[in-house]
Every structure is written in structure tokens, then in C-alpha cells.
Structure 1
Amino acid sequence: MKGLPEMTTSDKNALRTELLAARDAMSPFVLSQAIGDLAEWMYNLPIEVAAGDTVAAYVPTRREPGGTAMLDALVDRGLRVLLPIVPEGDPQRLQWGVYRDEQTLTEGRWNLLEPQGLRLDPDTLVEAKLILVPAVAVDRRGVRLGRGAGYYDRTLVGMPGQIVVVVHDTEVVDGELPEDRYDVRGQWILTPSGGFRPVG
């Protein structure tokens, strides 16, 4: 994406709306290609992992990048995959569940797909060596533009795992996104075409 002028926090909603509209306009072919590419990158993670290690990911919604193929690739590597569960009430830290396969996902809050079975405490995320996080956009410092509720920022504070911000190729911005003291930066950016790249 082209460089942005100096942004203020009030610009966030306009940028979010613009980028989500661009997602809505993506062709099924482009989306399908992105799903396949991201699944392939799961076999080339930016850090060393061994069978039995824990990785956190997400189930894409509303044309977010990724798909269950990405999750299946992680399981295929023998990794324990955690997926977020949105708790009831006001925005707070995410709970987690273990992903096994697409058939074990069930519809949760806001029609989001979540793993069935035991709900794990938010602090379970401390076990994850790598945390894949969706975003609407990310800048080259690792600052995310999310959907605005702050679930991930609340959840990621203090977590030792490497945070990977996953976006479509056109959603990496050259300018600086507005950041406040509660925002948690990623250490890596993942795009379908570019793969994993360190921030900075």
C-alpha cells in the first residue's frame, strides 16, 4: 500500500472502512490463492518449533487472510494449535481452545467459529511459541490496525511468544499507523506473497 500521510487516531475508522471495502471486492480466485499460499508458509515458520510445541492462530472471518488449511498445516506438523474464544460481556482477554480439525469448530459469539471442548484460561497463551494474529492493516514497525474492540491488545500484553501479524499483500502500509500505549506490536508480518518478514 502507498505511503500514508501523518495519521491521527481519528483517521483509523476511515482507513479501516477503506481496507475492508477492498477486501469485499477481492475476487474468489485471489482469496483462494491467498489461502493456499498462507497454508504453505506454515511449513516455513520464522522460528524453530518441534512436534508438541504450541502455536496460537485464528479462524478467518469476513475475508481475513488465511483459512482452515493454514490450521491443518500446523496440525500436520504435530503442533498444538490454540484458537481464540470470545467471552461474553464487554471486551476483555480472549479465552482459548485446542483446534483438531474443521469438523470440531462450532459457531460462537458473533457467529465466529471456535473450537469445541474445554475453554482454556487467557494465560494459556503463555505456552505459545508463535502467535498468529489477524489485522486489517499493519505498518512496518509491527503496529496493527484491528477492528477496534481491543481483544487482542488486552490478550497479548506480556506474552513471550513471537507475534505474527497476518494481512493481505496490499494491507502493509508504508506510513505509520497511530499507536497508543495499550497497543501491542508484532515482531513479524506475514502476507500470502511475501511470507514472513521481521518488522522494522
Structure 2
Amino acid sequence: MRRRVLEARSRMSPFVLAQCNAELAEWMYRLPLEIDPGGTVAAYVATRAEPGGTAMLDALLDRDLRVLLPIVPEGEPARLLWGEYRGEASLAEGRWGLLEPQGYRLDPDVLHDADLILVPAVAADRTGARLGRGAGYYDRTLASVDAPVVAVVHDDELFDDGVPHEVNDVPMDWVLTPGSGFVRVG
């Protein structure tokens, strides 16, 4: 499934991706729960044809929310570190060429302050299963966090069921797609 979805993403038109990302940014003004100004949302910087984009992050900043982004630690897969997003200019290339926030690195436990967590996914389903890239960084990081977790996928990457998952995989509370918005799962 991972290979099939990633191959389909690689064929996605840049114009279609830009439209999807614009729609996802609009959904940031209609989050599935109330978060007061100054609240914290953990998110991510999309890569290649991953859904998201900095417009989604900028929409969160526009709402006066604190936005945390992951920083991949050196060495074997472990819990993610975090940094604050302060606009696209605050990002620099990190491990594996991923864009990460510059400045002070925050401990993984900063996610205990998060009101909502948006995570990238290759696919997700209505049972709450999420298929990631396979290294387990997010599952290690989210295992002890109580905030609602949202998998972000393209419309055709949300399935009724059948997304492969393991016992250690953290279930999702919501899935966000450009066309349907926030869908409660689990």
C-alpha cells in the first residue's frame, strides 16, 4: 500500500497539489475543536507531494496559535524533537533534506502542551489506522501524548479500513483531507 500510494503521489500535478494545499490551509480556520489564541498546534512541513504545505502552517499562525514542527534527531529512530515555526524563512534543511525550524530545540515532552497534533501520513482509514513512512518516529513520539491526533492525507488516501498497522502504532482521532475536511475516526 505504501509503495502504491507514494507512486500515485509522484505522478500528481503540481497544480493539483497546490490546490489541495490551499484547501488544507482553509481547514485550519475550522479546526475540529476550539483552540484559544496562544494555544499550541504541532504540525509538520510537507515534502514532495505530501499534503500540507507552508500555507497550512501560516494559517495556524494567522489564528494566533503557537506552531511546533518536528526535528529529526541524529542516530537511530527515536522520539522527535520540536521547534517553533515563525514563517517559511525560519526553516532550514535538516536531516534527510527535511525542512526544520531554526533555533532552540524543544524536548519531545513539549507535545504535552499541544491542543492538537497534525501528522503526515501515507494513508489512513476510518478505524483510526495510519500508515507512515515506516521508521516509527511519530509512534514513538505520540505514545505518551493525550492531545487529539489528526492524520493528513489526500482525498483518495482515506480508506474505510484495511490500512496496515501494528500493535505499537498510535491510533488517530481524526483524518483531514482537502475535500472532506476533518473526519472523526476510530
> Shorter-chain-normalised TM-score: which range?
over 0.9
Alignment of 1:57-72 (within 5 A): 57-72=43-58
Cα deviation per residue 1:44-86 (whole Å; 9 max; x = unaligned)? 0000001110100000012110100000000000000000000
Aligned partner letter, 1:126 = H
**1:131 alignment partner in structure 2:** 117
* Displacement of 1:174: 2.3
Cα deviation per residue 1:4-47 (whole Å; 9 max; x = unaligned)? xxxxxxxxxxx111100000111112101101000000000000
**2:31 alignment partner in structure 1:** 45
Alignment of 1:7-156 (within 5 A): 15-156=1-142
2:181 is the alignment partner of 1:181: no
What stretches of structure 2 of length at least 5 have no aligned partner?
A: none
**1:9 alignment partner in structure 2:** none
Query: Residues of 1 paired with 2:160 and 2:58: CA distance?
Result: 32
Q: Does the CA-based 8 Å contact 2:127-2:161 persist in structure 1? A: no
Query: Residues of 2 paired with 1:71 and 1:192: CA distance?
Result: 15
Query: Residues of 2 paired with 1:166 and 1:93: CA distance?
Result: 20
Q: Does the CA-based 8 Å contact 2:127-2:160 persist in structure 1? A: no
Query: Residues of 1 paired with 2:37 and 2:78: CA distance?
Result: 31
* Displacement of 1:178: 2.7
Over the aligned positions, Cα root-mean-square deviation in angstroms equals: 0.8
SS of 2:182 mapped into structure 1: strand
Which structure has more relative contact order (CA 8 Å, sep 6+)? It is 1
What stretches of structure 1 of length at least 5 have no aligned partner?
A: 1-14
Task: Give the TM-score normalised by structure 1.
Answer: 0.91
Q: How many residues align?
A: 186
* Displacement of 1:181: 1.6
* Displacement of 1:158: 1.9
Query: Residues of 1 paired with 2:161 and 2:125: CA distance?
Result: 7
